[in-house]
Every structure is written in C-alpha cells, then in structure tokens.
Amino acid sequence: AASGIGKATAKEFVRNGAKVVLADVQDDLGHAIAAELGADASCYMRCDVTDEVQVAAAVDLAVARHGRLDVVLSNAGVVGSLARPPLGALDLADFDRVMAINTRGVMAGVKHAARAMVPRRSGSIICMASIAGVLGSVAPHPYSVSKAAVVGLVRAVAGELARSGVRVNAISPNYIPTPLVMRILEEWYPEKSAAEHRQIVERDINEMEGVVLEPEDIARAALYLASDESMYVN
C-alpha cells in the first residue's frame, strides 16, 4: 500500500470515508503515506505477505482499531527476474519467490480476511491479478503464472465465501506507469529515456485511444468492488 496501485487505492478509500490499515514492507514510504492521510484515517504496519503470522497480525490490527474488517485489498506483488531467459533456463528459485509473494501471499490475505468477515457475514475481498495471468507472453513466466493462479484462487474461494455473505473479486490491470513498471522498462530498454519508457505504456501497449490507464483508475475499480454498488458482484 506504500506505492503504485496500493497507494492510489488507499487515498481513494480515505477520500470516500474509509479507515485504512496500510500494510507493506516499504517502511519509509508506508509511514509517509500514513502521515499524509492522517492518523484518524490510517495507520501503517510492516507486513511481509510471505509470513502468514504478519498477515494475520495486519487483519487483527484492523479489527482492533476499528471493530471490524469490511474490505481487504490483497495487492502485494513482484515481477521477479527481468532477464526473460528461455524456458529451459528458467530459475526455479526465482519462480518460487514470485509465487510465494504473488499467490501464496494473496491466499494468506484471503484466508485471514475471511476469518474476520465470515462471522459477521459481510465483507469484500479484492485481489490484484493482471492481464498477464490471462493473456500470457506479456511478462516473465513466473509473474504470468502467479497472476493466473490469483484468478483461479478467486474463482475457487468465491463460491464458498458467498454463502457467508463475503464477496471475492479480482482486478486484472493492463500495464500502468507505476514505479514497478517503469523499472521493468528501464531494464528491458536501457537505451531509451524515461519519457520513451512512459510512451511505451501510453501509446504502444495502451489499447484505448486517447485514454491512459493510471493507478487512480484501478483505485476507482477497487472502490466500486468495495462498495454496496457491487453488492451482487462476486
């Protein structure tokens, strides 16, 4: 929640009256965003999603501070190695790390969100997937597989949790000019300038003429899925 989509979503939620717990491993950025949003509306907690104990603690903190947990956005993610080797040279240690954060970390978030939401028979769980999990070949293999698994995870648990009044949905963004994506493009196209990297996202990858996808657009989609306006979207 300290940068990119997570940061934009935290701001959008607070702007619409939510109280948020920011969970991340980027401590300096996390504390800065919490200070910007204000102590009444937010707090920051360090949370490594590969450690289930820390994920559970983040959920417990939200319940302790606010009495209940209405929404969880499971958004932590990494791309892993940007080397893009042929499949025969794939680094399985890198694959395991990406899966641990992007997929197992999401499952931990869903598990502990459900623990808090099911007894109240209410809640919305939102998981960040990617077009890479649907299309393939647009990102390194570990990332694509991890995001496909997130989509499968959401489908797997949505039916069970719906019977307890809890909705589960995924958002699958296209490329967005976040710091993460810009670092990827810098690695892949070192000969190009920062402006040219942004142009790749805005013009070459973008499918909507005259519209550039920004983190704030994803934040508004998450707000919709968090709200009663999507009460039958699951």
Q: Is residue 207 part of a domain?
A: no
- At 214-229, the pLDDT tens digits run 899 999 999 999 999 9
Q: Which of 10-14, 108-112, 118-122, 174-178 has the lowest mean pLDDT?
A: 174-178
Report the number of distinct structural domains present in the chain: 1
Q: Is residue 194 part of a domain?
A: no
Q: Is residue 137 part of a domain?
A: yes
143 an active-site residue? yes
Alpha-carbon distance 225 to 232, whole Å?
10
pTM of the model: 0.91
Average pLDDT in the 38-67 region?
97
DSSP string, 80-148: -------GGG--HHHHHHHHIIIIIHHHHHHHHHHHHHGGGT-EEEEEE--THHHH-SSS-HHHHHHHH
Q: Is residue 72 part of a domain?
A: yes
What pLDDT score was predicted for residue 151? 97
Q: Is residue 87 part of a domain?
A: yes
What pLDDT score was predicted for residue 136? 75
Q: Which domain holds residue 115?
A: 4-174+213-230
pLDDT value at 168 more than 90: yes
Choosing from 143, 175, 189, 232, the catalytic residue is 143
pLDDT value at 167 more than 90: yes
Average pLDDT in the 22-48 region?
96
- The neighbouring-strand residues paired with 42 are 20
Q: Is residue 204 part of a domain?
A: no
Q: Is residue 202 part of a domain?
A: no
Q: Is residue 179 part of a domain?
A: no
| CATH number assigned to the domain comprising residue 118 | 3.40.50.720
